[in-house]
């Protein structure tokens, strides 16, 4: 009799995005003699708005799938949402990019934008109410990479009862959440009367579950 137990590993960071390339993706940097291309993917929402998401793909995948990466190409990517710090105007800024690990056939014209994360709340949640009386909570999630001694820091935004649910969770609480990656344009005031247009990227959470509270083993969740 076989008494072995099969352990199923759930990825900490997995997403699928499908859309249209905004413009031709170009090789931007090399690691160990392999080039990496960066581009932007346009993904329509159910509303009239669209998300324009940055992605990174290795030369190995470009060649393996014979990708042209020209503007207007329809593509479907599977991968991870990763973060890194970049010095811009003398200040360190958190940059997000979808790191492509697999390319799928785009069988239809439907757009896809889905992401699931498992990580730790690493900053006090910030709860607020908008002028239109919408309840929002911002959470920064630390997500460990499977193959590297490194974490990605992913800004997440929760709405309504999900926002109320997570607002009092402590730093160190382990959660799983799912939603979509969104781009949000905003204006940054550089100095009085001078503004710069920027784009923020975050995960708009649709479902969240507490896997492990800080110093406890309880589990609960909301959809």
Report the alpha-carbon distance of residue 151 to residue 14 in Å, rounded: 14
- What the block records as the tokens of 183 is 């781009």
Lowest mean pLDDT among 4-8, 59-63, 140-144, 172-176: 4-8
> Is residue 146 very low, low, confident or very high in pLDDT (cuts 50, 70, 90)?
confident
> In the prediction, which pLDDT does 3 show?
53
Percentage of the chain exceeding pLDDT 90: 68
pLDDT at position 160 is 94
The per-residue pLDDT for 10 is 67
Check residues 193 and 110 and name the one with the higher pLDDT. 110
Indicate yes or no: pTM above 0.85: yes
**Tens digit of each residue's pLDDT (9 = 90 or more) over 113-128:** 999 999 999 999 999 9
Q: Phi and psi for 12 in degrees, rounded to 5?
A: -75, -25
3-state secondary structure 7-31: CCCCCCEEEEEEEEECCCCEEEEEE
Closest-CA residue to 97 (of 139, 131, 52):
52
Contacts of 85 (CB under 8 A, 6+ apart): 92, 93, 94, 95
Which residue's structure tokens are 């993706």? 25
Pick 88 or 109 by higher pLDDT.
Answer: 109
pLDDT at 216 over 90: no
Strand locations in 67-173 (E): 74-88, 91-104, 112-121, 126-129, 135-144, 151-159
Residue 5 is predicted with a pLDDT of 46
User: Do 136 and 127 contact (CB within 8 A), yes or no?
Assistant: yes
């Amino acid at each position: 009799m076989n008494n072995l137990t099969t352990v199923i590993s759930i990825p900490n960071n997995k997403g699928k995005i499908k859309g249209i390339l905004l413009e031709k993706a170009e090789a931007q940097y090399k690691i160990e003699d392999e080039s990496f291309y960066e581009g932007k993917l346009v993904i329509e929402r159910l509303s009239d708005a669209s998300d324009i998401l940055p992605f990174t793909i290795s030369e190995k995948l470009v060649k393996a799938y014979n990708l042209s990466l020209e503007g207007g190409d329809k593509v479907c990517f599977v991968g991870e949402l990763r973060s890194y710090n970049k010095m811009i105007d003398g200040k360190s800024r958190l940059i997000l990019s979808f790191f492509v690990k697999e390319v799928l056939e785009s069988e239809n014209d439907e757009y896809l934008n889905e992401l699931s994360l498992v990580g730790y709340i690493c900053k006090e949640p910030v709860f607020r109410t908008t002028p239109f009386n919408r309840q929002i909570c911002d959470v920064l999630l630390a997500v460990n990479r499977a193959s590297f001694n490194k974490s990605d820091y992913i800004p997440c935004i929760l709405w309504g009862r999900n926002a109320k649910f997570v607002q009092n969770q402590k730093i160190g609480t382990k959660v799983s959440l799912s939603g979509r990656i969104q781009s949000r344009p905003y204006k940054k005031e550089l100095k009085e009367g001078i503004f710069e247009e920027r784009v923020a990227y975050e995960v708009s959470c649709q479902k969240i579950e507490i896997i492990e509270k800080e110093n406890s083993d309880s589990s609960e969740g909301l959809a």
